[in-house]
Chain A
């Protein structure tokens, strides 16, 4: 068997007409104060077994009581993903495991809360959402003494029930994802949406957002292949690596004439490979049946409408809004970054204060990484800077220096800073003699340029910049040089 290592390249090209199909199952812990079915705190990082109670521990006689706020957050998730919110019930998913206190997980099965939605990737492609259902989290086991922290071979295991009963939404995509890059975009976009609606802190590294990937390959025109589910993917970067690795593994097996077995596979971050966790034959029969301790959730149309109406503008819409305000010059990457940092309202405020939105967008992207969603620099101050640029009073290099000072001081008058730094504008009438002097000083370079060697202009422009001590506007200099060339030929 060939051993692959995956690089950090964005997209592994599939060879020989193979196509990749990916569906993602994303578990998200909801940002409630208390657990899904009890009053214990829903809080990460506490000492083990602090946030427990009879319901959490599944003690005999304890009964679950549904957390209304969790239902609201779950509905918010569904509505933000364009799902239909429907009457739903809980089921019991039965299996024995030490960190599953009742030996069943209360989950939703054939009547989930949210169905049939979609998520739009930044490029516009729609990824179908099959369902987004509610369920409770399990406790957390730590296996001591075994190899690699696995239960097999461990001397003993410790269980922390703080996480048991924490509300989750499981968001199941349709198998609409075709590349590792799309998978990464999907998770990144989903995370942005979850943060925007305050449904979850969605931290993959803390496990409040957990991604499982169903991966299969097939030849173009043929039906989908047998899928494998990849677990233990703990970052967006790992997700891409794991999908790429798994696709190549499956293609290699198919090329070798070996069948793909339906399996659950474990991504190992260290060796960059997936390993068999269990095969379909070992899968538990979960014996789902309706949870008799709970009553159906039947959200009224008014309740659904009130949650829908209270949804904030989502990242996709915010990007469109920002791009439109920036005009044709909008830089897509800056738009992505600025919206992700929730600084788009600020950029728009710069525009409202009379500034140039496109320039503000780039400045904010470049210089505001540490500023958060409420930057210290008043919008009107950044507007002042962009105005100086638009009117040609500052060069790009000068603007950057002024911007750095604005950020360092938490604001200020851009014109005053420019003046202190001696960034007085050099108008074209004083530039022309400087250009002519530079041409005269370098006749060889000038001759080459006139003869058609475009690169030769660098020496002329460079000399002007040097003579002006950097105060000349490069664009203006180039314009004068071009005019001289036109006159000379």
Chain B
């Protein structure tokens, strides 16, 4: 079984820095040493911010020396998916089209973790524009899974997952449009959370599919995850889709247990998960029942249509969101005779194959004469999925499924078959379409000793009960 040393947690690190037991600079140097040791092989980062991070850590230490409390993430190194804007620091989406662009502003989520004392340590690799499930679609080369470098870390937030799994940082931020946090968390043995749509601001998150994208954390533990999400969550006037109400308390619910909770098992869940994965999901049901929960059979009939609807809705939005990369105002420009030609050759040179495939798909789905048959129908399925979830949640508090149908797979194993890759997100996608929260919690290992993630799904703003169950699963593994 692949194994890595035990790394420091967010909570332990912040506690040590806040109490003055350790300096932020010391903590940072320890993590940068890990980066130096392993990054060449792993390639978690597009950019390591060693100098910036050292300056920030020194400043933070000075504040602590002066009696300040920098906040709940004091001195915690954090890795940021490279689709979150950082002022003055290149932000690439792992795409050539953004070559040379430095955002003039910082994403709200990044501002929040920094304001809570976290130290950005680098920008992490991803599938180009977050389109993929293995981080093989990066224009800057793939990221390797720290648990087995012959395998993928998952994606699209593969760099963020690998950074935490490799011990480069106790926490990282990813974004999840159809499973891009939960699937790599499962493949790297981490806790990964996709919050309720609108709980975390999207301002400064470079859009893939605006109605689905949501930022969330990767951590080693459920308690770390709760602490970071408490910092991230909350209304942002800069994001109109941000929920205008105070964020829920999460760290306070972790000890509640699951006694009396109803755990839903989806009886008509689409098949396709490997036996080693389903075995761990069954073990999770057993553990939760043992801890006092009731297992309830429910159906979510439209669950199986999620993948189809997603591959119309997400590319449609992406085709529009990615139109702004036209060579006019920022990023790459390939010169040509006319403006229209310049736009065409720039986009042809700047985007990778998968991005082009989805732009084509989305453009087609929105075209006159096809809208009703494709995009319009996908929106109907989206409503059906949401309605089906609502009915299921009348009978249970959370749902449990696999996060990924398989453990981490080998590079190139999906070949040139995009559909095979898309199937990685079968169990994660419906939640994005409904706007509900979901998380992957590591729950033992499957084939090759690789980690398996169990997915917990909850209704909109059901983060408290979701974390309650996650904490119980974590305890049952101890």
| A interface with B by C-beta (< 8 Å) | 54, 57-66, 92, 94, 96, 98, 101-104, 151, 157, 159, 285, 287-289, 292-295
User: 1/0 per position for B2-23, CB-CB distance to A under 8 A?
Assistant: 0000000000000000000000
Q: Which of B285-326 contact A (CB under 8 A)?
A: 316-317, 319-320, 323-324, 326
Q: Are B98 and A60 in contact (CB under 8 A)?
A: yes
Q: Chain A interface: which of B132-140, B205-213, B402-410, B443-451?
A: B205-213
Give the top 8 A-B pairs by smallest Cβ distance, nearest first. Answer: A103-B323, A292-B211, A287-B366, A292-B210, A60-B206, A61-B204, A61-B85, A61-B206
| Seed contacts A61-B107, A96-B326; 16 additional CB < 8 Å A-B pairs | A54-B104, A58-B329, A59-B329, A60-B207, A60-B324, A61-B205, A65-B240, A96-B343, A103-B323, A103-B324, A103-B326, A157-B339, A287-B319, A287-B320, A287-B368, A295-B241
Q: Are B368 and A102 in contact (CB under 8 A)?
A: no
- Assembly CA distance A94 to B85 (angstroms): 24
B317 to chain A, nearest CB (A): 6
Measured CB to CB, the nearest residue on chain A to B204 is A61
Residues of A within 8 A of B240 (CB): 63-66, 293-295
Q: Are A289 and B202 in contact (CB under 8 A)?
A: no
Q: Are A101 and B329 in contact (CB under 8 A)?
A: yes
Q: Which of B178-218 contact A (CB under 8 A)?
A: 202-207, 209-211
**Is residue B432 contacting chain A, with contact meaning CB distance below 8 A?**
no
B367 to chain A, nearest CB (A): 6
Residues of B within 8 A of A294 (CB): 240-241
Which one of A54, A64, A289, A295 has the greatest number of beta carbons of chain B within 10 Å?
A289
User: 1/0 per position for B321-357, CB-CB distance to A under 8 A?
Assistant: 0011010111000000001100100000000000000
Which one of B105, B324, B339 has the greatest number of beta carbons of chain A within 10 Å?
B324
- Assembly CA distance A57 to B104 (angstroms): 11
Measured CB to CB, the nearest residue on chain A to B329 is A57
- Assembly CA distance A64 to B203 (angstroms): 9
- Assembly CA distance A54 to B367 (angstroms): 29
- Please judge, given known A-B contacts A96-B323, A102-B323, A287-B320, whether A59 and B104 are in contact too, CB under 8 Å: yes
Which one of B85, B205, B326 has the greatest number of beta carbons of chain A within 10 Å?
B326
Residues of A within 8 A of B211 (CB): 292
Q: Which of B359-389 contact A (CB under 8 A)?
A: 363, 366-368, 371, 375
User: 1/0 per position for B153-170, CB-CB distance to A under 8 A?
Assistant: 000000000000000000
Residues of A within 8 A of B367 (CB): 285, 287
Of the residues A54, A96, A103, contact of B105 by C-beta under 8 Å? A54
Q: Are B210 and A289 in contact (CB under 8 A)?
A: no
- Please judge, given known A-B contacts A96-B343, A102-B323, A295-B240, whether A61 and B330 are in contact too, CB under 8 Å: no
Chain A contact residues, majority secondary structure: loop
Q: Are B316 and A289 in contact (CB under 8 A)?
A: yes
| B interface with A by C-beta (< 8 Å) | 84-85, 91, 93, 98, 101, 103-105, 107, 202-207, 209-211, 237-241, 316-317, 319-320, 323-324, 326, 328-330, 339-340, 343, 363, 366-368, 371, 375
Residues of B within 8 A of A295 (CB): 240-241
B110 to chain A, nearest CB (A): 10
Q: Are B103 and A59 in contact (CB under 8 A)?
A: yes
Of the residues B98, B207, B320, contact of A94 by C-beta under 8 Å? B320
Q: Are A293 and B241 in contact (CB under 8 A)?
A: yes
Q: Are B238 and A61 in contact (CB under 8 A)?
A: no
Residues of A within 8 A of B320 (CB): 92, 94, 103-104, 287, 289
- Assembly CA distance A94 to B205 (angstroms): 21
- Assembly CA distance A288 to B316 (angstroms): 10
Residues of B within 8 A of A94 (CB): 319-320, 323, 366
Q: Are A102 and B324 in contact (CB under 8 A)?
A: yes
Of the residues B104, B203, B238, B366, contact of A289 by C-beta under 8 Å? B366
Of the residues A54, A62, A65, A285, contact of B368 by C-beta under 8 Å? A285
Residues of A within 8 A of B328 (CB): 98, 101, 159
- Please judge, given known A-B contacts A60-B206, A289-B316, whether A65 and B329 are in contact too, CB under 8 Å: no
Measured CB to CB, the nearest residue on chain A to B327 is A98
Residues of B within 8 A of A57 (CB): 329
Measured CB to CB, the nearest residue on chain A to B212 is A292
Q: Are A104 and B323 in contact (CB under 8 A)?
A: yes
Residues of B within 8 A of A289 (CB): 316-317, 320, 366, 371, 375
Measured CB to CB, the nearest residue on chain A to B331 is A60
Residues of A within 8 A of B323 (CB): 94, 96, 102-104
Measured CB to CB, the nearest residue on chain B to A66 is B240
- Please judge, given known A-B contacts A289-B316, A292-B211, A295-B241, whether A59 and B203 are in contact too, CB under 8 Å: no
Measured CB to CB, the nearest residue on chain B to A151 is B339
Measured CB to CB, the nearest residue on chain A to B101 is A60
Q: Are B375 and A65 in contact (CB under 8 A)?
A: no
Q: Are B85 and A96 in contact (CB under 8 A)?
A: no
B338 to chain A, nearest CB (A): 8
